[in-house]
Amino acid sequence: MSDIKYDIEQLTSEVVEWFKLNGNNEQDYLNRINKEVLSLILAEKPKVMVYGIYNAGKSTLINAIIGKEVAEMRDCPTTYRIDEYDNGDYTLIDSPGVDAPVEHQKITEDNIADCHVILYVISTKGGFESIRNYENMYRLIKTGKPFIIVINDKNSENDIRNSENINSIKCKIIENLQKVSGNHHIENLFDTIAVNGKRALMGQLKQKEKLVELSNLPMIKDRILHFLHSRSAMHIYTAPVNNLIALLDEMLADAEEKTNPDINDVFSSYLSDIRAKRNSFMEEIPYNVDMMVSRYERTLIESAYSRNNNSWEENIQSMYREFENMYSENVRNLMSYFSAKYTQVDFSGITTNNISGDISGYDMVDFEGSPEKHTDNDFSLPEDDDDISGTDILGSLTGVASNIISPTPAPNPLLIVNIFSKIFGSRKEKELKEFKRLQEEARERNRIAEENAFNEARRRQDIRISVETQSHKIRVDMRTLMTSQLSAVFEKAEACILASANRNQQEMDLLLDLCRQLNTFKTKALTIKNRIR
């Protein structure tokens, strides 16, 4: 997912260069571009706070996300103040650690209120088991800010995405946060993502994409952008894009007037109206797309959790068909509007194809199978040679009784009492032993049930994170496709209006070239705007 700030700057530079190359040296437009577009994207950006335990790898993670070594990395605590690092669309804030001195923690607390996303970094080498850390995590979760626990894997050289050790740590985090919060579904209020910071940084510095992918760094970066977009933190870029679109509309109007000053009022009003219609129409695209994708998101999560690949494919394809139908319906509505509104224009030259581009190539997230289920049948009673069944005890008593009433000489009374004492004592001892064994089995069943519950919660969390992140990309892809395709329809309609208004072929060709280029810039601007939502 490309950087929106960078894309705005690049597009603005293209517009300025084109403006100058075409002999348009009117300083007014250039001054307004600097003031109304470029100056606004220099405003304060969204903030992502990198927080966590001393020496867990916060600085390494920051360097990996940015792609170069900007934060100092040592084996001992280094951060005693708030440091800010520009990462294009947002600013990363490196804070003192959880166990920092009180005066340093105060600095962190003052900055948490202003941040948009919190990354809480822990390490697989330990140091995060204390109850204090979980109380601190829960306090931050309660702020309502997007909260990502980043497990920095300092031990493994393997693919960490399905590591048993990582999964065990994730389960432990959920277990401890449930205990601290009393909320047995708290895993829905935060994310847990594992990353190998050292491998990620090395891959970034050496430009080895496979190494970066294995480090799981892309998941962290995508998730940050997902939260910034969903929480409207990226709306700081809406104003400069809107201003750029307005300036392009003015340039279009100027170009038409200079190229064809005799255009009559009717066609002039048509052009003004169609541009206003286009701008308002594009405002609706993000909302319509988002509502549609949201309807499928929960079903996709359940399909992934149950490993139902057929259900996943069916939902993806259904979503894509609905998207195509949405496009077709929009085109039909637009053509009806054009014909009814612009009665003096011939639109027979407009041909519209089915929407081009493919957003259906999203694979089901693949996680290990469902947690192993245990039943009471798994706990069959073990054989014990020392156990005496009820029949055995009854037989023993019968034998003793037979001896007592037999015609043989009567035994010593003390001997009889001693025999009964041993029999009933043995029975009591066996019953106690059986009771303890059943207790132990019950405890083991409870332990396994808890382990399964935490593992299931962890797995659901992993899948939720992946599907939500993937559906955000689907939204962006759909918005981009819809914007570009419908923009093409508006541009064709605009060309039809210009052709009806202008009878001079030479002037017509010149004007169409100007409008084509300016509309290309405008489509790019609208695409950027619709990615921000």
Closest to 228 (Cα-Cα) out of 97, 111, 59, 88: 88
What distance in Å separates the CA atoms of residue 30 and residue 16, rounded to the nearest whole number?
A: 7
Task: Please give the backbone phi and psi of residue 94, each rounded to the nearest 5 degrees, phi first.
Answer: -90, 120
* Spans in the chain with pLDDT lower than 70: 1-2, 23-26, 73-81, 97-110, 127-128, 156-159, 161-162, 258-264, 352-425, 502-505, 507
Strands 117-123 and 91-94: unpaired
Q: Distance from first CA to last CA of the chain, Å, rounded?
A: 14
Q: Which residues on neighbouring strands pair with residue 117, listed in sequence order?
A: 48
Q: Any bridge partners for residue 151, and if so which?
A: 122, 194
Secondary structure percentages of the chain, helix, strand, coil, to 5? 65, 5, 25
CA-to-CA distance for 296 and 291, rounded, in angstroms? Answer: 9
Q: Which residues contact 461 (CB under 8 A, 6 or more apart)?
A: 170, 174, 187, 188, 191, 192
pLDDT for residue 14 = 93
Task: Return the pLDDT at 418.
Answer: 67
Task: Say which residues have a Cβ less than 8 Å from residue 270's Cβ, sequence separation at least 6.
Answer: 341, 342, 344, 345, 497, 501
Q: Rounded to an integer, what distance in angstroms lies between the CA atom of residue 495 and that of residue 475?
A: 30
Among candidates 167, 189, 139, 128, which has minimal Cα distance to 454? 167
Taking CB atoms within 8 Å and a gap of at least 24, the contacts of 384-387 are 386/430, 387/430, 387/434
Q: What does DSSP assign to residue 383?
A: P
Q: In what order do the strands lie in the sheet with 117-123?
A: 83-86, 91-94, 47-52, 117-123, 147-152, 191-195
E-assigned strand segments in 174-324: 191-195
- Which of 5, 4, 530, 466 is closest to 223 using CA atoms? 466
